[in-house]
Amino acid sequence: MTKTSPVKTDKTASAEERLGQLRQELNKIFLERNTVIDGVLAVLLTNGNAVLFGPPGCAKSWMLQELCSAIEGANFFDRLLQRAQPPEELLGQPSLVALQQQDSLIRNTKNRLPEAHIAFLDEIFRCNATTLNALLRLINERVFENPDPQPVPLLFLCGAANDVPEDEELRAFVDRFVYRPWVSYVRKTASRRELINRARNNVKLAVSTRLTLEEISHLQAQVQTVLFPDSIVESLLQCQSALLREGFDISDRKLQHLVKLLQAHAYVQGDAEVYIESFHELLPDCVWKKEPLERQKIAQILNQVIPDVNQQAVNWYDAAKEEVKKVQLAAKEYDLRPRNDTEKKLIDTAHNAAKHLEDVSRQIEKLLSQNQGKNVRRAKRILTDIREDLMLEVAKYKEKVYS
C-alpha cells in the first residue's frame, strides 16, 4: 500500500473548484469518457464502489488509477488480482501470537486493504470466490472483522474487469458494485487522431489536481444538500416498477444507494437538484443483471416511462452516423475502383450526408431552444460531435475527390 503524494496545486481554489478541475483534467486525458467520469466521481462522493467493464486496452484501469492518485494523503491499496490469490494478500497475514495465546484469528492489516482510504483491484473477477466473499462485509458496510467488527477508513473502492464472470458466486459479487459501466474503445476520428498524435510525440498526460481527505468529506456533505424533489421521487418509483415488470428488480439497499448516487451525479455536474436526465445517464449502468448488453433494454424502458429530452437528439445522431457510414463505404469503393461512376457515387453520397448533417444540426438547435432550463447537456454534446467530427469527416471525403 502506498500513500498518495502531494503535488503542486492551486491551494487558493475551493474544494468545489478543484473537483471541477479534476473532472476537466480527466475528460482531457480520457477521451469520450465524460459519462463514465461523472459516474465514477459521483461514486467517490457517496463512499461507494464502482467496477468498470470493457475490452483490454480501453484505459479503464489507467483512468481509475489516475482518479485514485488525485486523493492527497490517502492510503492507496492497489492490486492486480489472480485466480489463486489467498485472502491474506488483501486482508493481512494471521498473527501467530494471537493464534497461540488467544486462539483467535487476528490479522496484521498493515499496508493491506482494511487500512486503505482508496482501493483499486484490477482484474477483480479473476480472483476466486472464497477470497472475494471474505471482502463482502468490508465492501458493503465498511466493517472488517478482526475478529471483532471494526470500522475501516475505506472511502472509495473501484475495480476493473474485461468480462462479466460466468461463475454464479462471482456474479452475485458483481451486484455489490452500485455503478458498473461498460467502457468501449474511442470511436470518433478526432479522438483516434489525438491518440495517434500522443503516441508519436511521446505525450503521457496525468492529472495534477489534488483533493485532500478533508475536502472529500466536505464535498460528501455538500452532496447531501442537493434537492431531490417529490416529482423526482415519483419518477424513480415509476421507473422501479417498470423495470421490475421486465425482470430488473432493485433491492431496498440499492434503491437508497441510487438516491445518493443521483444526488452526487447532479452535484458533479454543477446542479443544485436532481434532474430526470441523470436517470438516463446512471440507471442503465447500475441495474443490469447478467450482462452489460441489458443496458440497452433498460434505457428503452426508462425512455418509455420518463421520456428523455436528449433521446430525440440521440436518435437523430444515430441516423446521421449511418449516413456517414454510407460515405465511408463509397470512399472505399472509389479507392478500389477509381472510375467516373464510383467518383460520382462518392460525391453524391457525401453531398447527401452533408445535407443530412446540416438538417440534424438545425433540428437539435431547435430542440435546445424549446427546452431551455432543462438538462440538455447530452444534446449539446451531440451537436458538438456532429459539427466537430462528422461534418469534418464528410468534408474530408469530398476533398478526396476534388483534390
pLDDT tens across 376-401, in order?
777 888 888 888 888 888 888 777 76
Q: Cell 480501453 maps to which residue?
A: 58
Instruction: Return the top range by mean pLDDT from 106-120, 227-241, 270-284.
Output: 227-241
pLDDT at 109: 84
Per the prediction, the chain carries an average pLDDT of: 87
pLDDT of residue 7 exceeding 50: no
Predicted local distance difference test score (pLDDT) of residue 244: 95
* 165: nearest Cα among 211, 140, 138, 128: 128
Nearest to 174 by CA among 75, 89, 254, 258: 254
- Read off φ and ψ for residue 155, nearest 5 degrees: -95, -35
Task: Give the Cα separation of 272 and 259 in Å (integer).
Answer: 14
pLDDT of residue 147: 80
Nearest to 106 by CA among 118, 93, 122: 93
**Nearest to residue 184, comparing CAs of 35, 4, 363?**
35
If we measure between CA atoms, which residue out of 331, 372, 363, 336 comes closest to residue 348? 331
* Phi, psi angle pair for 282, to nearest 5°: -105, -50
- pTM, to two decimals: 0.79
Peptide bond into 147 cis (omega under 30): yes
Q: Would you put residue 199 in left (φ > 0), alpha (ψ -120 to 50) or beta?
A: alpha
Which among 123-127, 236-240, 271-275, 277-281 has the top mean pLDDT? 236-240
Q: What is the pLDDT of residues 19-75, one digit of tens each?
A: 999 999 999 999 999 999 999 999 999 999 999 999 999 999 999 999 999 999 999
Dihedral sign, Cα of residue 192, residue 197, residue 199, residue 202 = negative
SS3 state at 350: helix
**What is the pLDDT confidence band of residue 200, given thresholds at 50, 70 and 90?**
very high
- pLDDT value, residue 100: 53
Region for 54 from its dihedrals, namely left if φ exceeds 0, alpha if ψ lies in -120 to 50, beta otherwise: left
343-349's contacts with Cβ under 8 Å and 24+ in sequence apart are 343/401, 346/397, 346/400, 346/401, 347/398, 347/401
Question: How far is residue 44's CA from residue 38's CA, in Å, rounded to a whole number?
Answer: 10
Of 51, 34, 314, 287, the residue nearest 182 (C-alpha): 51
SS (H, E, C) 82-98: CCCCCCHHHHCEECHHH
